[in-house]
Amino acid sequence: MSFQRNYYVYIMANKSGTLYIGVTNNLERRVFEHKNHLIEGFTKKYKITKLVYFEETNDISAAISREKQIKGWLRRKKIALVESMNPGWKDLSE
């Protein structure tokens, strides 16, 4: 029996619209860590706590290359991606 693992490419935002793009195999745990400022660095410094976009795959290398692809985009393209799934910028983790 093979166990299929899911990987998520996700975008978090703060109140002023600063974006963070990441990849994880446990979206629920990772969002909890961001919301509770458990990880030192960018998301803690800028209080990035809202999950505004995510996509799922079962291929880790596809997830990592997708994360890199999105990170390379201009900001307006990242915003268009978020708004294609979440036009109101709601916190999808709620």
Q: Which two tokens stand for residue 7?
A: 């990987």
- DSSP H helical segments within the chain, as ranges? 27-35, 42-45, 60-71, 75-85
pLDDT band at 1 (very low <50, low <70, confident <90, very high): low
Tens digit of pLDDT for each residue in 5-36?
A: 899 999 999 999 999 999 999 999 999 999 99
Q: What is the pTM of this model?
A: 0.94
1 or 6, higher pLDDT = 6
Q: Which domains does the chain have, with CATH numbers?
A: 7-85 (3.40.1440.10)
Q: Which two tokens stand for residue 65?
A: 């290359």
Predicted local distance difference test score (pLDDT) of residue 4 = 78
